[in-house]
Each structure stands twice: as structure tokens, then as C-alpha cells.
Amino acid sequence: MSILGLYNYWIVIILMMAGLYILIARYNLIKKMIGLGVFQTSIFYLYISLGKVQGGSAPILADGVTVYSNPLPHVLILTAIVVGVATTAVALALIVRIYESYNTIEEDEIKAIEALERDL
Amino acid sequence: MISDQLPALVIVIPMLAAPLCVLVRKPIVCWAIALVANFLVVLSAWALFEKVREDGVIRYALGGWAAPTGIEYYVDMMNATMLLLVSFISCVTLVYAYKSVSKTVLTSKHYLFYAAWMLCLTGLLGISITGDAFNVFVFLEISSLSMYMLIAFGTDRRALTASFRYLIMGSIGASFILIGIGFLYAATGALNMVDLAQRIPDAESQRAVLVAFSFLTIGLMIKSAVFPLHGWLANAYQHSPIAVTAFLAGTATKVSLYVLLRFFFSIFGPDYSFGAMLLNVVLLPAAVAGFVLLSLVAIFQSDLRRMLAYSSVAQIGYIIAAFCLASQSGLTAGIVHIINHGIIKTALFMSVGCILYKVGHTHSHSLDNLMQKMPLTVTAFILSGLGLIGVPLTVGFVSKFSLISAAMERGWWMVGALVLLSSLFAIVYIGRVVEIMLFRKSRTETPAPVGRSEAPLMMLVPMYVLIGISIWFGVSGSTTLSVAADAAAALLGGYQ
């Protein structure tokens, strides 16, 4: 019961590890960004799960409702989502510039080009 | 009246200057706006510093919402010092930046450069002043995102990849900090740092606090480039525009170190961090390995900027080692080195920037006889280099002396000895470059007559202002030491 009852946290862990793995293991810069996106999304889930109160309703005053979910983590995560969007935008802009100047977005190829430049 | 609003003004002024730059677009006007804004921030930070020094802690409720509901700005001696240091270094570097940026960055992009600079300053000051844990993350991302942008302004295309790698590492670090803050909130139900500090002792037995502590440790280690996690730093320092490097070296990692101090000492408390969690088992080896190995690595770098970047990681090692002592004298040594190294490294990168401006590259092996061509720049490099090594009467001596004596107090003889060893390495890597600039004859058969051609005055003056300050702080070490001692006492005393 306790393991199944915490299933949203299992999702968080799986997403977090998957994202981090993509981030480390993939050479393609776009795929790296996808990994970062998955990783950040898992944190959003974590925060939203924190705010859920068993049987609680939306935090709006209404008759007959006594238990409310905590709205604060949701508000926090709205900010974090905006930050995540900004990070992705900056990263994609950088990838465009990298593609324009290196003609590739594979990190191993970029590294090879840079190693060649250093020897010159 | 206005003096009551100082904590907000420090953030609001640069934050408004950024969109203003984007609207105006004319390079020189943007620079002037940024500079005036930055100067006002320095004045506010100075006033705040004096006020905190006389009247004690300032707690400012943002928007009039009191602490648990609203966001609070909490200013004690520790962050008043950081505010002053960051805003001052930024102001001096901004004066310096104009010439070097005009030369390397496309004129049509200048307004974006200064806007990003102002946003970055906003973020760094915000991290330093806020008393709310989640607010730290928000400001951290504001400063980092604009920092990635500033780095990508570098002339070399490797600046782009350096910026991208920093973005990946920085985002992972910031996400870890976010996870840590989330777990802290789950365990205590508080985001305000003062409340957190009060509630953590009761929640210490919870697994969530332990997890939060680990995530925050790793995240902050990445952000402040502590030894095994410093990978992003060297490329970022080497390829970004030199003014940005000077700004970054003096402020960004220092502010992250401040956050580390705030979390470990004010929020978790030294008894928990260094007692129950055995933090120094992790941090001390990393710090010591950092300052020994990276000083050694710096010797073999042929590019001046890369050499100084590795030396920066080594200096962060000293600061972390001083924190690990977790005593009044240890913290004083660490904080004094944050101040001193911020000033010295900025001055060093400025002198390298002058060389870059005139010579066009920073490969140490072809700077023969630079002394004849650029005596003022080389003198500046030597003066601040001596400070980095820690020769008596320089700031480096003040911080290393207090670090070693604090280590001796604790009986950590090995740490003291290794600090001396890494100082010897510093003599080698600075001395090697100085030897080339002063004495080595040109390798060409008939050396062309070398005329003097100095960097512009607008670059030399800010550099010498910093060097003048570093000499003042070096000769009268008590000025910074007393400030640092007050800051350390504020950290160890916990929240009032």
C-alpha cells in the first residue's frame, strides 16, 4: 500500500533519472535539451505532489469544504516553469548559433573540431 | 524615508535599467544608463552597509507583506558585505568594459550586452539580499541566464560551446538546489530562511531534511565550482569577453559561496552541517585537492586566461577549506578571502584584458618583452599577481595568514602545509609569465623597435583603482578582517 500510495513519487524518480541519463549519455545537443526538460519536469511533479492534501479541494472558499490542498507549491512551480521555458529558449538560441558556426550539433564532432583548432 | 527602502532599491534600480537599455538601443547611452544605475546601486549598498554596521540587522518586508506570507529581505553584516563587494566590482568592471566591448562585440548588439549585464547584476544582488529560500533560486536563474548570454558574446566560436556547457551544468546545479528547497519545504512548511532555521532542529530526524541537505550541497558545489565539479569554469572564463570574465571571476562564484555559507551556517547551523552531517569529510578533501591540483594544473597552461581560471578554482578551494573549519577564525579567513580574491582576480583579468586589447591574444609564450611596450599593464599584472601569491603587505598575505593560523588553531597542520605548497605553485605560474614579460628577449633575429602602446586610459584607471584598494586592504589588513569577523559572527550567531 505504502509503495503504491506513493506512486507519484516513483514517477518523479523515474523521470528524473531518465532525464539526467539523457543529459549525460546523448551527444546531440537538442537531445540534451530534451533530457534537461524531462529532468526539470520531474521537479515540477515533485512540487505539485507536495501540495496535494488527501481529499482536499482547490483552495477556494466554498460552503461545505473544509480541507484544502496547499496552493503555495503550485505558485512556486509556476515560477519554476517560466524559468525552465527561459532556459530552454536560451539553450535553443545557443544551439542555433553553434550550428551556424560549427555546422553540426553533435557534441563529439564539436569536440573533435575544437581539438583540431587547439593544435593549430 | 528613502533610506528605509534601500533593500528594495538595490534590486529595483538595475532591474529597471535593463529594459531601459533595450528601449534606448544607442550603445553609448545604454552604457551610461547601466553605469549610472550601477553607481546608484553602489551608493545604496554602501548606505545599507553603514546602516547595518551601526544599527544591526535590517528586515525588510517586500510590498509590505510581513515575513511568513510575503518575501522578506534580510540584511546582516554578511550580505551587506556581499552587496557592497558585488555592486562595486560590477561598477568598476563596467567602466572598463566599454572600450573592450566596443572592440569585440558588434555595435548593433551592445544594448543587449548592457541589458544582460544589468540583469545579471540584479540576480547576483538578489541572491545576496533575499531572506527567502525559493527567491534564492529565482534570482540564481536570473543571474545565470544572463550570464550564459554574456559569455556567448565572446569573439571565438568556442564561446558558444562554453556557454552551452555552462548552461547544462548550471541548470543541473540550479535544479538540485530547487529539489533541495522543495524537500526543506516538505519537511518544515517554511520558505523564509529565519523560519527554516527555527524549524529544522525539530525536523532533523526526517529523511527529507537529509535529502534536502545532500541536494543543496551538490547543487551549490556545482554553482560555486568546487574542485571535482568545476568543469564548466575554465572554458567559460577563457572564451567569454574579457570584461565578462573579470565580472564573473569577481562576483558569480563568490555569490554562490555566500549561498553555501547561508544554508550551511544560518539555516542548517554548523552543528548539523559539520557535526551530524560530517560535511567536512566531503568538502575538505575536495577543497584541499582543489587548491593543490589546480594550482599545479595552472602552471602548465599557455593561455593566460585559462591559467587564471584554474587559479580561481584553486582559490575557491582555500575559501571552502576555511569554511570547513566551522570556527569564528576559519569563517573570518574564508570571508576575507572572498573579498580579497574578488578584487585581486578582477584586477588580474583586467590586466590580461589590456594585453588582449593591444596584442590581440593571450598566449603567454609570445609575450616577450611586453614590459617595454605596456609598462603600466605589466606592472598591474605583477602587483596583483603578488597579491594572488600572498607576498607580505598584499591582500593575499592577509587571507592566507588568517587561513593558516585558523587551521593551526584547529590542529590541521597538513592543511596549513598544503596551503603553503600551493602558494609555491602560484609563485611558479605567476612568475613564469612575469619572467617572459620582463626578461625574455624577442626570438626574432632583428627585433622590431618596440614603441610604447598602452591600453586606453578607460581600461587602465579601473584596473588601478582595484589595485589601489587591494594594496590598501593589504597594508591595513584590519579593515577587511574586522568586517569579515563581524560577518562571521553574524553567520555563527544564527538568526535573531
Domains defined along chain A, listed by start: 2-119 (1.10.287.3510)
Q: In B, which residues are within 8 Å of A46 by CB distance?
A: 179, 182
CA separation for the pair B86, B91 (Å, rounded): 9
Domain-embedded: residue B236: no
Q: Is B73 helix (H, G, I), strand (E, B) or coil?
A: strand
Q: Cβ contacts (< 8 Å) between B141 and chain A: which residues?
A: 83, 86-87
pLDDT band at B314 (very low <50, low <70, confident <90, very high): very high
Q: Locate the chain A residue with the closest alpha carbon to B182.
A: A47
Q: Hey, is the C-beta of A48 within 8 angstroms of any chain B C-beta?
A: no
Chain B within 8 Å of A9 (Cβ-Cβ)? Answer: no
> pLDDT under 50 in chain A at which residues?
1
Residue B331: inside a domain: yes
pLDDT of residue B151: 93
Q: Give the tens place of pLDDT for each residue, B253-281.
A: 999 999 999 999 888 888 888 877 788 88
Burial letters B4-24, b for 16+ CB under 10 A, else e: eebbebbbebbbebbebbeeb
B478 within some domain: yes
Q: How many CB pairs under 8 A join A and B?
A: 68
Residue B307 included in any domain = yes
Closest chain A residue to B168, measured at CA: A36
Record the cell numbers describing residue B349, joined without a space.
583579468
Of residues B168, B182, B191, nearest to A50 (C-beta) = B182
Within-domain flag for B212: no
The answer to whether A79 contacts chain B (CB < 8 Å) is yes
The distance of B147 to chain A (nearest Cα, Å) reads 11
Chain B residues in contact with A94 (beta carbon < 8 A): 148, 152, 160, 163-164, 167
d(CA B81, CA B134): 22
ipTM over cut 0.95 = no
* Number of domains forming the structure of chain B: 1
Hey, what's the cell of B314?
584553486
Residue B171 and residue A36: Cβ atoms within 8 Å?
Answer: yes
pTM of this structure:
0.93
A83 to chain B, minimum CA–CA distance in Å? 7
- In chain B, the residue whose alpha carbon lies closest to the alpha carbon of A27 is B165
Note whether residue B152 is domain-resident: no
Q: Would you call A90 and B138 a contact, using CB atoms and an 8 Å cutoff?
A: no
State the smallest CA–CA distance between residue A62 and chain B in angstroms.
Answer: 22
- Helix locations, chain A, DSSP H: 2-5, 7-25, 29-51, 72-102, 107-119
- Does the distance separating the beta carbons of A43 and B175 come in below 8 Å? yes
Q: Say if B79 falls within a structural domain.
A: no
Phi, psi of B57 (to 5 degrees): -55, 140
Q: Which residue of B has its CA nearest to A108?
A: B161
Taking only the tens place, the pLDDT of each residue in B55-65 is 888 888 888 88
In percent, the amount of chain B with pLDDT more than 70 equals 97
Look at A79 and B138 and tell me if their CB atoms are within 8 Å. yes
- Residue B445: pLDDT above 70? no
CB contact under 8 A, B157 and A20: no
Integer Cα distance of B278 and B30 in angstroms? 49
Asked whether residue B348 is domain-assigned, the answer is yes
- Helix (H, G, I), strand (E, B), or coil: what is residue B58? strand
Nearest by CB to residue B182, choosing from A46, A79, A117, is: A46
Confidence band (pLDDT; 50, 70, 90) for B496?
A: low
Nearest CA in chain A to B176: A43
Domain of B454 in residue numbering reads as 279-489
Nine-digit cell string for B209: 531534511
The yes-or-no verdict on residue B393 having pLDDT over 70 is yes
